[in-house]
Structure 1
Amino acid sequence: MSRILVIAAIVIVGGGAAYYFMNQPEPTPAERLESAAQDAGNAVSDAADAARDAAEEAVASATEQAADVAQQASDAAEEAVAQATEAATEAAEQATTAATEAADQATTAATDLANAASDQVASLTSDGEKWLQGLQDTGILTKEGFNYDALVLAVEGSSLSQETKDTVLKILGDIKASPETFDAKLQELKELFAS
């Protein structure tokens, strides 16, 4: 029985609701305008909310991208500085090594030249002493057998440097001009070749 009462109640309520909706008066133009304005306002509000959400999302995305770009730029700058520092260090080391090698080579070359010059001077001194002794042994460079012309020919035909030849010829000219200075001038010649 209670089941029938429940069904009857549902039928009554459903019928009443159907009757109310069927007999509801037609909305007036003002009500329609107000409803349209309400719908438009809701649409504008929804659009504004959507635009605000999109703007916030765009700002967040742009901020994130800018942070990523800044980090990448910072990383690239640090790497470039590290590479430049490494390259500068390598260049400085190479320059130092090259300078050291050049200095060593220059020192070796200077030492070799000094040794060669010293050997040459020693050889010339020895050769000059021998040459002078040979002139004395032949008798043309003695107090008694002094022969100026033969001595000039011997000096000019020798392997002495031109500066040494000029000095020897001047000393020989002094002996020719003042034969009494022979011993002193001979000593000058010996000292010339001994130095």
Structure 2
Amino acid sequence: MSPTAEEIVRAAARWIGQGTRLDTRTFAADLGISRSTLFRRVGNREDLMGEALWYMADRTMAAATRAWREANGDVVRDAAGELRCLAAMRRYRAAIAGNQGFRRLIDEEPTVAIRVLTDPHGRVQPRVMAAHVDLLRRDVDAGGFTPAVSLESLSYAIVRLGEAFLYSDVQAGRAPDLDAASTLLAALVEAKS
């Protein structure tokens, strides 16, 4: 039986997570389909990579929010005063930065990876921003904080700043500093107007 588009995306995410280069010829052969079938179902290589990276990001964000819930229940702030959304974002960035397959993709194909990850009209960044809006909205609705700007503007700033720190080794020739990112993001989120 021929794999569905969703099964193809999950397989591509596994390849990326394992650090295997996503060569469409080899990938299609591994799935037992032709390259033309692969392209019909999921698009070109960058489309497939974008869907796979979004799949990974979505699962990573879900795991980060689940970890909060398991540790803290439904409270908006933990005992130390950290907002639920900020804790989830911190875990999310740390998990992405620590994924060896993802890092290998960034190291071996920096131009393609950054283009796919940060394209404002692509398959990853708009969805990541929407996920951040949802994360922020839950805390706003629960009375955790009142944002100084719209959630969409705040999400944009959070995602772009997070990208700047996550990919700083490629974009600016400096080591990623996730602690600095967390500090700056907390200042953005908790800012008073």
TM-score bracket, shorter-length normalisation: under 0.3
* TM-score (normalizing by structure 1): 0.23
Please identify which structure carries the higher helix content. 1
> Larger relative CO (CA 8 A, sep 6+): 1 or 2?
2
* TM-score (normalizing by structure 2): 0.23
Mark the structure with the bigger radius of gyration.
1
